[in-house]
Chain A
Amino acid sequence: MNAVEFIVAGMLAAATPFLLAALGELVAERAGVLNLGVEGLMALGAVIAFIVVYQGGGHLLGFLAAGLASAALSLVFAVIALGFRANQVAVGLAIGILGQGLSALFGKSYESLTVRGLPKLSLPWLSDIPVVGGLFAQDIVVWLSLAATVAIWATFAYTKTGLVVRAVGENPKAAHALGYPVIAVRFAAVAFGGVLAGFAGAYAAVVYTPLWADGMIAGRGWIAIALVVFGTWLTSRIFLGACLFGAVSLASLAAQATGLGVSSQLLSSLPYLVTVIVLGIISSNRRLLKLNGVASLGEPFER
């Protein structure tokens, strides 16, 4: 397998943790809530899923437990940031630190242990195409994540639910005047984001690299938050951004394996550097951000 085939085949799997976490953050931000705790939510989901799978509970139970645990932690965020109207940046940072701490605490006796990942499900014929065939052989979670992407896009584009979430994020006072429960919608959006962050962590720990190591999320939660900005709050662009980051992380792996003589530390920091550069390029288009951004993002709602 050459480097191109390697990247094409693995891109979607590498992109999935970014994609799931970013979609979750997208929903929360569209409702007007900036949850910076994604890194911690992912770390908690990762360790819970790993423990369940390692103890023989299976992948389905692992993902469910991870989703529940991260949703619970994201509700702590919601109670403090929305209920007590605390500074969302500070609460998000605290949740991030707490989640990472809890994951290290729970995972202590599982350090460096491994579990079995998931089998690839291939689409007939398509997966036999040379070079790009690998794209059509993915595990079930990747296929479901693609379906979730389409579902979230359609929800925002075509349904009343999507419209209500956006209204609450754009103009909570107006949404409240129309009789929509602003705080309840925001709670639900944050919890949904928590579930997806938990799934993202679970995928990282029990499917993509099925082993436990403290700090294994390695900034992917933060990149997911950046992806929402890259994608200018649009589902389709967030998907493309996640694919880009999947490809970048695989390319750095491939480069390390072939030993191109580039330092492995430079390659490891490639995703972070790409984030900084792309963030600069997209953000410098102030009109684009203003047009697509969420008007009340990060602001508490008071009647």
Chain B
Amino acid sequence: MIASSRPFLPVLVRREHASLTVKLVAPPVALGLATLLNLGLYVLMGRDPVAVFHAMLLEPFLSWVSFSEVLLKTGPLLLIAQGLAIGFRAKVFNIGAEGQFILGAIFASAIPIWFPAATGQWIWPSMLVIGALGGALWASLTAFWRVRLNANEILVSLMLALVAAQLLNYLLLGPWKDPAGFNFPQSVMFQYDAMVPILIPGTRVNVSLLVAVAFSLAAWVFMQRSFAGYKLQVGGLAPHAAGYAGFNEGRAIWLSLLIGGFAAGLAGAAEVAGPLGQLQRSISTGYGYAAIIVAYLGGLHPVGIVFSALLMAALYIGGDNAMVSANLPVAAVRVFQGSLLLAYLVAIAFVRYRLVWRHAAHGSTS
């Protein structure tokens, strides 16, 4: 072909086989890319990028105390993301986990708030169970709207998350407000037996981390080894084929949303029965939304999600560090989260495509 003045442009060409290598290196590449972009932003904001990098990405791992806080935050992120990933693989986009998390926290809090004098080892386990059911119940509204009314689950689950936040406000400003709490929007402190036992002495890490790990294991078995999980995945990848095979779409949607709501509700319950010890307005710092990023970054795979949950938890702790030591606004964490997901979505494009440089013209080289 004769060299011409036509510009040389990159074109994405479909690979014959999806690249497993790219799939494995995509998350670290995305992390590197997002880190570079955000450090650039901090320089523009007049912050010392080295100090922010140290505070945000290294410090969480440098001391046992801060790493234990990372583990504490990993619990809820891991739980919610495992639940969401199951739905995402079935192409059921539950993005209202934040609301299911809040409902889990509310349901769990009902026990210590209504029975403040109760004692016994049964209290915290039943809080976790009731919280999980509360989350599943909230998600079942979305499932009903989607299956019976054909409504888009993205919009319904998100709207219900906004409603849940208002419901929490209502309870904390009204019936569940601590009468001796100087009018702060928070409930009474829960009794000792309403607390999930500490797992690692000397830290705040509690048994709910084990619950999250067990749930991850169950998610792996369900998705990789069970027929029900297989049916969900086929429904997501090839809905028509799933229909011909007689896999029920409505059942897949119900299952996806109930599992997602159950996990998010469990996480919410573990939060009030764990580090907080009361129902507060700030029970969730966007866990439900961050877990969406965790799920994608982990490749929607139960094993990958364990790593991405740890990373996201470290980012939360690192963001707090950077706020104190480098005067970085807390919103910087959200910016980092958003750009991390974008970078990842670019990186995984190369799982299915490769870049080829071509002359820009209609079919000149193809």
Binding site for B on A (CB under 8 A): 36, 40, 76, 80, 83-87, 89-91, 93-102, 104-105, 108, 214, 218-219, 222-223, 225-226, 229, 263, 265-266, 268-269, 272-273, 275-276, 279-281, 283-284, 286, 289, 302
Contacts and interface: CB of A to CB of B under 8 A. Distances in A.
A101 to B, nearest CB: 3
Contacts of A76: 342
Contact of A279 (B45, B155, B338): B155
B237 to A, nearest CB: 13
A286 B166 contact: no
A86 B169 CA distance: 37
Interface stretch (B59-67, B217-225, B243-251, B289-297): B289-297
B261 to A, nearest CB: 16
Given A273-B163, A284-B150, A98 B346 contact: no
Interface string B333-344: 111111101100
Nearest to A269: B166
B182 to A, nearest CB: 21
A86 B26 CA distance: 14
Nearest to B145: A280
Contact of A276 (B95, B156, B170, B339): B156
Given A86-B345, A86-B348, A91-B342, A280 B149 contact: yes
Contacts of B160: 272, 276
Nearest to A39: B158
A84 B337 CA distance: 20
B330 to A, nearest CB: 8
Contacts of A218: 162
A300 to B, nearest CB: 10
8 contacts: A91-B345, A98-B334, A98-B342, A102-B331, A108-B329, A272-B162, A279-B152, A289-B150
A105 B339 CA distance: 14
A84 B12 CA distance: 8
Contacts of B166: 265-266, 268-269, 272
Interface residues of B, number: 46
A93 B159 contact: no
A101 B152 contact: no
Contact of A101 (B95, B156, B163, B331): B331
Interface of B: 12, 14, 45, 93, 95, 145, 148-152, 154-156, 158-160, 162-163, 166-167, 169-170, 173-174, 289, 292-293, 296, 329, 331-339, 341-342, 345-346, 348-349, 353
Contact of B149 (A84, A95, A283): A283
Contact of B159 (A89, A272, A302): A272
A225 B152 CA distance: 11
B334 A101 contact: yes
A214 B338 CA distance: 17
Contacts of B150: 283-284, 286, 289
Given A84-B349, A273-B163, 17 more contacts: A87-B345, A90-B341, A91-B345, A97-B334, A97-B341, A98-B334, A101-B337, A219-B159, A225-B155, A226-B159, A272-B160, A276-B151, A276-B160, A279-B152, A279-B159, A280-B156, A302-B14
A222 B158 contact: yes
Contacts of B151: 276, 279-280, 283-284
B170 A265 contact: yes
B155 A222 contact: yes
A36 B154 contact: yes
A90 B294 CA distance: 12
A86 B93 CA distance: 15
Residue of B148, B150, B353 with most chain A CB atoms under a 10 A cut-off: B150
A85 B149 contact: no
A98 B344 CA distance: 14
A83 B10 CA distance: 10
Contacts of B348: 86
Nearest to B336: A101
B145 A93 contact: no
B162 A229 contact: no
Contact of B12 (A85, A94, A104, A214): A85
A263 B174 contact: yes
Nearest to A281: B149
Contacts of A268: 166
A61 to B, nearest CB: 22
Nearest to B10: A83
Given A86-B346, A86-B349, A104-B331, A94 B341 contact: yes
CB-based closest 3 A-B pairs: A98-B338, A101-B334, A104-B331
